[in-house]
């Protein structure tokens, strides 16, 4: 009796680890990570949604980069512009109680008291003076996404460099760099952002984002430093050094690839934090200024009209939340994919299947 | 140790000095107090510009001007502390002294709620990892993580204030709403309790029925206009509190634990009427503290004398049961003033305000009455507290979940299970206690960060605290005021870092502070 019990335990044990090792058999580290990430349903759904949002946002209004002779201008497919007033269209879409500019978007089919699925001329409605709201929201989202990307890129770059140098060289370099990091860190982000936004907000969105990015690296630098401190002591670093590798080669070829997990994960947090910070700053009036548009600015402008025209408030908010939520879920998926200790959850069904398989003599 | 503390203190000075230098110059270079004169047509424009230049020392470059500001701060060492004057000529330090308590009042309830709710939900999701409850809470916390607070604030104003006030005109809940609310409550409760499918549905049905009965009762008796807990409500809550405390500290199967916990709850119920005498109209905060002192000492004494061994365990049960069960008694007293408050001229039947920190229309008698003015503060706190709690709740859920999961994978948990300890002991004593260790650092740092972190919340809800000071300072180019707020929050952050490092060394013996 005892014998039988022991053998079933050991086979089931072997099979449980078997499921896991079979998955990673013959795959490189990168392939394992990609595979794990693709398995993360929430993260994959978020990635698809985020890409869809970005594509729609940038193609609808087109892209205008640069000024003067270096202007690159690609027209979009959306018929209205953010400085184009369409009073007839706004009046035509008036709804209950004589409120004008209601959204013409209707997703309720006829049997659910809708007029059938249609987009209409102004799916997001129009604002108070008759500017198409879809165009405004898309413009705002363009700005917010751009801020997010610039802040994220700069933050990740500076944070990684500072953290890597401090962690790798240690000693006095480490002490000085980390005290500088602390100095930036004790200043609340929103305080730095407000001071910068106050000065650079009216210069347009790119200078604002660059300045914000210069102050967004501290958290990441600390994480990267800790990672480098532990990786520096590992055997493969000693081996590389004995083989005559230079500091630069050790940092870039040996340590950095091993620290990429923490950089990616903290980096996504930085991205979602950046979009929320930009909207908060614009809301407070320190970020993007009128006549330019940003999602936070739209909410700030129309929060008073919630009672009459609630859509002016819902659309920008929904877009901010969707973008931030997608980025957060992607970050979660990346963390799971990069964490080698993370064992995939084995469901009851798979356990049962493995046990059944183990009973067939091989 | 002394050497370590001294070195850290020295480092703190360097950091605060560097950060304040940075902030001073950042702000000085990014603002121009004279810009207001650009379009001025005043005859004495030149004179005004000169005067402002002299007053604000604008002819001195900011890096040097910083040191004249610093001199006032350093003078604090010999008791001559001086943060300078604001643009309106008021001492910065006095303005700060008014603003600090406002911000503390604003954030303290929200922080407390977020910590308690966040940690309990986080730990339960960790225990039930990969359950439906875990997935839904993960989604909820990510959603809250992605919410801009100003957006939440507008929604709260609409649904929690305006529509709730409309609802109070005729506070009957339609049956369909009762069904919906009770189902949601039942689902959450069942998710918390967990267990096999049968137990899940039993808890769901029980909790939903209970909630439906409560809502129906509240709707039928117009409870929302004249809320009160009464001795039955207080008693019920006291017994529930006792059950939770016992389960957490000694387990409900411990007989002495049950005697201590439920005994204290019964004593508190018995004290319900005698304590009302201490809560008359001319009571003050001292009376509230007095009531807590009485119940807690009675509770602790009962806990202490229940057993001859393990006295500390039962003392804790008595203490916490008494503490938690006294709260409903106080709340009940505040509720008894609600109808009068709501119908007074100042409030005019719309109790939940969307803006401000107090109702300026209250009569002097109402302000003098501790209960009414307390109630006034409470209703003004409702919206900002919900907003702040929602936003910071998510962080605590994620952090405590991760922390507990990490601890539950440790070898000593396996050892504890292997030596036959009950699951409750393993999770509460061995798991949660160790999972709380890294949380202490987060808590200390969060408290320090809150002073600077309420800028948006204070703006949205029009509270005149530190955040608003910062806001005005920035808009009116008030460098001294700006630096006053900044130096306070920076010092607090650095101090909190230091304290949490020290504390971590104390609570976690594995960490030795480097000499």
CA dihedral A63, A65, A69, A73 (to 10 degrees): 0
Q: Is residue A353, in this structure, part of any structural domain at all?
A: no
Which token pair is B131? Answer: 């359950």
Across B268-272, average pLDDT: 93
Q: Do B30 and A199 touch (CB under 8 A)?
A: yes
The contact set of A with B (CB < 8 A) is 42, 179-180, 182-188, 190-192, 194-196, 198-200, 272, 276, 279-280, 283-284, 286, 296, 299-300, 303, 306-307, 313, 317, 320-321, 324-325, 328-329, 332, 345
Q: Does B148 touch chain A (CB under 8 A)?
A: yes
Query: Mind telling me how many Å the CA of B24 is from chain A's nearest CA?
Result: 10
How is residue B323 written in tokens?
């503490």
Residue contacts between A and B (CB atoms, under 8 Å): 118
Task: Determine the residue of chain B that is closest to A181 in CA distance.
Answer: B15
Q: Does B3 touch chain A (CB under 8 A)?
A: no
- Distance between CA atoms of residues B174 and A141, nearest Å: 40
> What pLDDT does residue A13 have?
47
**pLDDT recorded at residue A360:** 55
Which one is predicted more confidently, B24 or B505?
B24
For the segment B417-436, the average pLDDT, to the nearest whole number, is 90
Strand partners, A118: A106
> Does residue A327 belong to any structural domain of this protein?
yes
Q: Mind listing the pLDDT tens digit for each residue in A321-332?
A: 999 999 999 988
pLDDT of residue B206: 93
* Residue A3 included in any domain: no
B494 vs A186, A283, A329: nearest CB: A186
Whether B493 and chain A come into contact, CB under 8 Å, resolves to: yes
Proportion of chain B above pLDDT 90, given as a percent: 30
CATH number for A301:
1.10.3720.10
Q: Name A75's bridge partners.
A: A62
Q: What is the pLDDT of residue B113?
A: 92
DSSP A69-101: GG-EEEE-S-S--TT-B-HHHHHHT--GGG---
Q: Residue A267 falls within a domain, yes or no? A: yes
Summarised one tens digit per residue, pLDDT across range A166-192 is: 999 988 999 899 888 888 888 767 667
Write down the mean pLDDT value for chain A: 79
Contact A179/B455, CB-based, under 8 Å?
no
Q: pLDDT, tens digit, for every residue of A68-107?
A: 566 677 777 777 777 777 666 555 555 655 566 676 666 6
- A259 found inside a domain: yes
Q: What is the pLDDT of residue A185?
A: 82
pLDDT > 70: percent of chain A: 72
A272/B30 Cβ within 8 A: no
Distance between A182 CA and the closest CA of chain B, angstroms: 7
Query: Cα separation of B389 and A6, whole Å?
Result: 51
Return the number of other C-beta atoms located less than 10 Å from residue B206's C-beta: 14
The minimal CB distance from B452 to the residues A191, A299, A345 is found for A191
Residue of chain A whose Cα is closest to the Cα of B455: A190
Nearest-by-Cβ selection for B474 from A198, A280, A324 = A198
- CB of B486 within 8 Å of any CB in chain A? yes
C-alpha pair distances (Å), B429 with each of A47, A200, B250, B434, B443: 40, 53, 10, 8, 20
pLDDT higher than 50, residue A302: yes
DSSP A132: B
Answer with the residue of higher pLDDT: B73 or B420.
Answer: B420
CA dist B229 and B237 (Å) reads 9
- Structure confidence at residue B184 (pLDDT): 93
Angle at B283 between CA B277 and CA B286, to 5 degrees: 105
List phi, psi (to 5°) of A269: -60, -40
Tell me the average pLDDT across B322-335.
93
**Whether the predicted pLDDT of A137 surpasses 70:** yes
> Average pLDDT for residues B312-320, to the nearest whole number?
93
Q: How confident is the model at residue B513 (pLDDT cuts 50, 70, 90)?
A: low
User: Does ipTM exceed 0.85?
Assistant: no
What per-residue confidence (pLDDT) applies to B477?
80
Give the residue from chain B lying closest to A190, CA to CA. B453
pLDDT in the model for residue A161: 94
pLDDT above 70 for A65? no
pLDDT at B240: 94
Please tell me if residue B26 touches chain A, with a CB cutoff of 8 Å.
yes
Backbone angles phi, psi at A124, to 5 degrees: -95, 10
Query: How many CB atoms are closer than 10 A to CB B309?
Result: 7
Pick B158's closest partner by Cβ from A182, A306, A328: A306
pLDDT of residue A88: 63
Q: With contacts defined as CB-CB under 8 Å, which chain A residues touch B446?
A: none
Region B404-410: mean pLDDT is: 89
Q: What is the pLDDT of residue B514?
A: 53
Which residue of B26, B31, B145 is in closest CB contact with A328? B145
The total of structural domains in chain A comes to 1
Choose the weakest-confidence range: A271-275, B29-33, B204-208, B460-464. B29-33
Host domain of residue A326: 29-65+73-80+131-347
Q: CB-based contact (8 Å) between B459 and chain A?
A: yes
B214-221 LR contacts (CB < 8 Å, sep 24+): B215/B173, B215/B178, B215/B181, B215/B182, B216/B173, B216/B178, B218/B173, B219/B171, B219/B172, B219/B173, B219/B178, B220/B172
Q: Which of A188, A284, A287 to mutate to test the interface with B (most CBs of B within 10 A)?
A: A188
Q: Do B158 and A184 touch (CB under 8 A)?
A: no
Closest CA in chain A for residue B482: A191
Q: Does B63 score more than 60 pLDDT?
A: yes
What does the pLDDT read at residue A5?
44
Q: Which of A197-201, B91-95, B144-148 has the lowest mean pLDDT?
A: A197-201
Question: Which stretch of DSSP H or E encloses residue A328?
Answer: helix A311-338
Q: Does B130 touch chain A (CB under 8 A)?
A: yes
pLDDT of residue A75: 76
So what's the pLDDT on residue A109?
61
What pLDDT score was predicted for residue A105? 67
pLDDT of residue B69: 86
Per-residue model confidence (pLDDT) at position A116 = 60
Q: Which residue of B has its CA nearest to A273?
A: B146
* Angstroms from A280 CA to nearest CA on chain B: 7
Residue A211 is predicted with a pLDDT of: 84
Contact of B149 with chain A, judged by CB distance below 8 Å, is answered with yes
In a domain, A179, yes or no: yes
Instruction: Give the pLDDT mean for B191-215.
Output: 89
Q: How far is CA B20 from CA A149, A192, B209, B482, in A?
A: 29, 12, 58, 10
Instruction: Give the mean pLDDT of chain B.
Output: 86
Decide if A280 and B471 are in contact by the 8 Å CB cutoff.
Answer: no
Q: Which of residues A73 and B376 earns the better pLDDT score? A: B376
| Predicted confidence (pLDDT) per residue in B19-45, tens digit | 899 888 888 877 777 766 666 666 777
Identify from B30, B125, B126, B151 which residue to disrupt to test chain A contact, counting A C-beta atoms within 10 A and taking the largest count: B151
Q: Smallest CA–CA separation between A2 and chain B, in Å?
A: 19
B314 pLDDT above the threshold of 60: yes
- pLDDT value of position A115: 60
Residue A12 lies in a domain: no
Q: What is the pTM of this model?
A: 0.85
How high is the pLDDT of residue A150?
A: 93
The pLDDT-based confidence of A335 (bands split at 50, 70, 90) is confident
Contact call for B26 and A192, based on CB within 8 A: yes
Minimal Cβ distance to A324: which of B130, B139, B146: B146
Which residue from B minimizes the CA distance to A307? B158
User: Residue B405 in contact with residue B130, Cβ under 8 Å?
Assistant: no
* Averaged pLDDT, B485-512: 81
- pLDDT of A113 above 70: no
CA–CA separation, A285 and A290 (whole Å): 9
Confirm whether A91 is domain-assigned.
no
CA distance B311 to B303: 7
The mean pLDDT of B316-322, rounded to a whole number, is 94
In this structure, of A91-95, B108-112, B227-231, B447-451, the range with the lowest mean pLDDT score is A91-95
Q: How many CB atoms lie within 10 A of CB B150?
A: 21
């Amino acid at each position: 009796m005892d014998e039988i019990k022991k053998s079933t335990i050991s086979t089931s044990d072997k099979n449980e680890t078997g499921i896991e090792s079979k998955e990673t058999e013959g795959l490189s580290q990168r392939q394992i990570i990609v595979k794990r990430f693709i398995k993360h349903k929430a993260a994959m759904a978020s990635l698809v949604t985020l890409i869809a949002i970005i594509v729609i946002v940038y193609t609808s209004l087109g892209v205008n980069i640069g000024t003067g002779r270096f202007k690159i201008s690609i027209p979009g497919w959306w018929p209205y512009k953010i400085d184009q007033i369409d009073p007839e269209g706004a009046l035509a879409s008036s709804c209950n109680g004589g409120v004008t500019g209601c959204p013409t978007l209707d997703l309720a089919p006829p049997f659910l008291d809708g007029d059938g699925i249609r987009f209409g001329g102004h799916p997001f409605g129009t604002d108070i003076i008759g500017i198409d709201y879809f165009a405004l929201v898309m413009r705002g989202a363009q700005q917010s996404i751009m801020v997010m990307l610039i802040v994220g890129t700069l933050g990740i770059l500076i944070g990684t460099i500072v953290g890597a140098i401090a962690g790798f060289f240690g000693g006095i370099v480490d002490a000085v760099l980390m005290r500088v990091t602390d100095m930036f860190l004790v200043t609340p982000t929103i305080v730095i952002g407000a001071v910068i936004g106050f000065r650079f907000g009216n210069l347009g969105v790119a200078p604002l984002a660059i300045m914000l990015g210069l102050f967004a690296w501290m958290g990441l630098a600390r994480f990267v430093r800790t990672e480098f401190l532990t990786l520096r002591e590992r055997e493969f670093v000693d081996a590389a050094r004995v083989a005559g590798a230079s500091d630069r080669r050790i940092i870039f070829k040996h340590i950095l690839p091993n620290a990429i997990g923490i950089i990616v994960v903290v980096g996504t947090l930085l991205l979602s934090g950046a979009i929320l910070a930009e909207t908060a700053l614009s809301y407070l009036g320190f970020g993007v200024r009128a006549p330019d548009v940003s999602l936070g600015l739209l909410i700030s402008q129309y929060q008073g009209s919630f009672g009459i025209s609630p859509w002016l408030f819902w659309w920008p908010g929904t877009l901010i939340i969707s973008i931030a939520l997608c980025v957060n879920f992607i970050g979660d998926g990346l963390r799971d994919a990069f964490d080698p200790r993370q064992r995939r959850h084995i469901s009851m069904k798979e356990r049962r299947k493995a046990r059944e398989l183990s009973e067939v003599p091989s | 140790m002394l050497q370590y503390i001294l070195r850290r203190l020295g480092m703190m000075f360097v950091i605060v000095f560097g950060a304040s230098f940075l902030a001073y110059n950042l702000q000085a270079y990014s603002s121009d107090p004279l810009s207001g004169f650009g379009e001025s047509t005043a005859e004495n424009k030149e004179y005004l510009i000169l005067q402002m230049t002299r007053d604000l020392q604008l002819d001195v470059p900011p890096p040097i001007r910083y040191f004249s500001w610093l001199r006032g701060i350093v003078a604090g060492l010999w008791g001559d502390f001086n943060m300078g004057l604001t643009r309106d000529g008021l001492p910065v330090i006095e303005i700060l002294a008014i603003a600090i308590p406002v911000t503390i009042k604003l954030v303290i309830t929200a922080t407390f709620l977020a910590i308690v709710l966040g940690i309990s939900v986080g730990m339960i999701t960790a225990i039930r990892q990969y359950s439906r409850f875990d997935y839904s809470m993960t989604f909820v916390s990510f959603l809250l993580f992605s919410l801009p607070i100003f957006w939440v604030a507008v929604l709260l104003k609409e649904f929690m204030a305006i529509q709730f006030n409309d609802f109070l005109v005729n506070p009957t809940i339609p049956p369909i709403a009762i069904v919906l609310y009770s189902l949601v409550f039942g689902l959450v409760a069942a998710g918390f309790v967990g267990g096999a499918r049968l137990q899940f549905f039993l808890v769901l049905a029980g909790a939903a029925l209970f909630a439906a009965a409560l809502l129906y009762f509240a709707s039928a008796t117009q409870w929302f206009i004249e809320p009160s807990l009464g001795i039955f409500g207080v008693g019920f809550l006291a017994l529930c509190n006792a059950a939770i405390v016992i389960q957490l500290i000694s387990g409900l199967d411990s007989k002495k634990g049950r005697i201590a916990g439920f005994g204290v709850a019964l004593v508190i119920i018995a004290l319900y009427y005698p304590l009302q005498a201490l809560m008359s109209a001319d009571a003050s905060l001292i009376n509230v503290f007095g009531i807590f002192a009485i119940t807690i000492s009675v509770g602790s004494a009962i806990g202490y004398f229940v057993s001859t061994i393990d006295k500390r365990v039962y003392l804790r049960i008595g203490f916490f049961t008494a503490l938690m069960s006294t709260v409903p008694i106080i709340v009940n007293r505040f509720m008894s003033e609600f109808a009068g408050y709501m119908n007074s001229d100042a409030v005019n039947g719309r109790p939940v305000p969307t803006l401000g920190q107090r109702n300026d229309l209250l009569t002097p008698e109402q302000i003098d009455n501790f209960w009414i003015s307390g109630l006034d503060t409470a209703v003004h706190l409702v919206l900002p507290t919900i907003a702040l709690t929602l936003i910071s709740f998510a962080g605590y859920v994620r952090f405590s979940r991760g922390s507990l999961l990490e601890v539950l994978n440790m070898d000593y948990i396996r050892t504890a299970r292997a030596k036959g300890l009950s699951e409750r002991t393993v999770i509460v004593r061995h798991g949660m206690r160790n999972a709380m260790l890294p949380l202490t650092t987060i808590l200390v740092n969060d408290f320090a960060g809150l002073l600077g972190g309420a800028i948006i919340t204070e703006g949205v809800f029009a509270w005149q605290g530190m955040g608003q000071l910062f806001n005005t300072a920035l808009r009116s180019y008030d460098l001294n005021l700006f630096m006053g707020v900044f130096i306070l929050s920076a010092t607090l952050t650095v101090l909190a870092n230091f304290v949490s490092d020290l504390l971590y060394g104390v609570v976690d013996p594995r960490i030795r502070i480097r000499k």
